[in-house]
Chain A
């Protein structure tokens, strides 16, 4: 639509969009600025003084140093990685096999089984925790990182199988036929043909699962039991918020440390990120 000349409608449109964008951005901006201010400044003035009086400001990395060194955010950062990377790769691998079988193999009860697994997407996490926790206590898996991998795997599988299945089944049939004529086994077909062709799908759902686990609080709270050795970033941030007397400069720095990885993923892989988020919406 190309129209020239001044139109009040256009002006209103810009005001609305830019206004909303500001409302969305300002809270995060305030947190970012606060995390670099001194604790004295933070306690006595609002972060916006930085703009009112830009020449009289002191910026410091002290808050980051404190949360990383004294509130063991460094350990939590490593734990988040130790939890998240396997909790993404394990379900992706297992789901690839299942999705391949459901999409391209013939066996009894195939549709019924697939429908049943997909229906389990609607089970809220809450409905599963008590029995799993009881079993975990008996198996000594409570408070262990591999225990959390398995929970995230079991819980993520229906969605990932569903997503990969819908991608796999649209691959052209000829690919499979010619590979089978060449004598390739089904595992070879999966590894050499299906997976390489499915990189965009794997990336989208992989990023969704990665961020889901990285940002998860509930599973970590319940199954890790709060031992500092295994605590991930979300739990350690929420502990900081809960403890009285932590200044905003520390909370804001901690919030940024915990969001740094998802933000980098968002900024660099935005397309897959958005697609994965849309795909994962039925689970959230």
Chain B
């Protein structure tokens, strides 16, 4: 297309200015501030980073983010994959998929309320109004403090909220890729007497490898940055803290720009590492003959 020499620059100018002001400059500045004290006046070297790795609260947060980064992608991806394959076999596929995708429309805050209610916990003498405890009591058990019992039960219960929101998303991505597998391949394998189980592991999973790896990265990055769910349910109490919530507290509760910046840079570096590992792997796959 023929254009005047300056036209393209006018076209990209507004976007470039905004991106420079809202992404580029603040990221560099945050990196710089992470070497200064809480009011950004005195240079403190790596002190904020050593705080991040040694303080009891941030170590709990790092542990929880690690738990999220392992359990959350594993569950959403395996469940999403199984659902994509199984829903394909039934007539009511669209209904099931819509139901499982629906939580994506509700905000994380909304989902937090929905599940806080499911987990609601009351003393033994009164009737339970939370669904899970009502079931436990009906089965003859004692009510459980789902969001109180540290460190594993409450954190896993919080991961469940994330799984409820994001499984439909993984399922939809896998479903689109699954329907692209040529029918002949699957039919031929069936003719050769392959069981559904063998089909799944030998044909479906290898064919969806690229989608699986993209989704793994997406879910891991999400697990790293998880904030809303924690903020609205436990606010990091009872050892459920995560880095993004901790950063919010450092910023607004403890007014420490230095520490908050160090946490932000930690999140940035970790997510870049996760994302670039995927790009490298894809490139390696493409270069194979």
Contacts and interface: CB of A to CB of B under 8 A. Distances in A.
Interface of A: 1, 9, 13-14, 16-18, 20-21, 24-28, 30-31, 34, 42-48, 94-95, 97-98, 100-102, 104-107, 110, 113, 117, 120, 122-132, 150-151, 153-155, 157-158, 161, 176-177, 180, 186, 189, 211, 214-215, 217-218, 221-222, 234, 237-238, 241-242, 248, 251-252, 254-255, 258-259, 262-263, 265-266, 270, 273-274, 277-278, 281-282, 284
Interface stretch (B46-54, B143-151, B266-274, B280-288): B266-274
Interface stretch (B56-64, B67-75, B201-209, B225-233): B225-233
Nearest to B222: A284
Contacts of B128: 46
A155 B5 CA distance: 29
Contacts of B104: 266, 277
B19 A117 contact: yes
Contacts of A17: 83, 86-87, 90, 92, 96
A16 B172 CA distance: 18
- Could you say which interface size class chain B belongs to? 35 or more
26 contacts: A21-B99, A21-B100, A27-B115, A27-B117, A46-B130, A98-B16, A105-B7, A105-B11, A126-B225, A126-B263, A128-B27, A129-B26, A129-B264, A130-B26, A130-B264, A155-B23, A158-B23, A176-B1, A217-B227, A237-B110, A241-B113, A248-B120, A248-B129, A259-B106, A274-B101, A284-B218
A122 B217 CA distance: 11
B26 A124 contact: no
B272 A241 contact: no
A128 B127 contact: no
Contacts of A254: 113
B193 interface: no
A247 to B, nearest CB: 10
Given A42-B129, A101-B12, A211 B267 contact: no
A128 B19 contact: no
B107 A215 contact: yes
A31 B117 contact: yes
B26 A131 contact: yes
B107 A153 contact: no
Chain A interface, DSSP helix/strand/loop, else mixed: helix
A98 B109 contact: no
B173 interface: yes
A262 B8 CA distance: 36
Chain B interface, DSSP helix/strand/loop, else mixed: helix
Interface string B228-253: 10011001000000001001100100
B231 A127 contact: no
A262 B165 CA distance: 14
A266 B116 contact: no
B265 interface: yes
Nearest to B130: A46
A101 to B, nearest CB: 4
Contacts of A34: 117
A82 B11 CA distance: 27
Contacts of A278: 169, 172-173, 176
Interface string B12-40: 10111011011111110110010000000
Among A34, A132, A214, the one with the most B-chain Cβ atoms within 10 Å of its Cβ is A132
A277 B170 CA distance: 11
B7 A186 contact: yes
B164 interface: yes
B8 A282 contact: no
A188 to B, nearest CB: 12
Contact of B3 (A124, A186, A238): A186
A101 B261 contact: no
Nearest to A100: B11
A270 B98 contact: yes
Among B22, B30, B114, B164, the one with the most A-chain Cβ atoms within 10 Å of its Cβ is B22
A257 to B, nearest CB: 10
* Nearest 6 Cβ contacts at the A-B interface: A154-B22, A215-B107, A101-B11, A266-B105, A128-B26, A98-B15
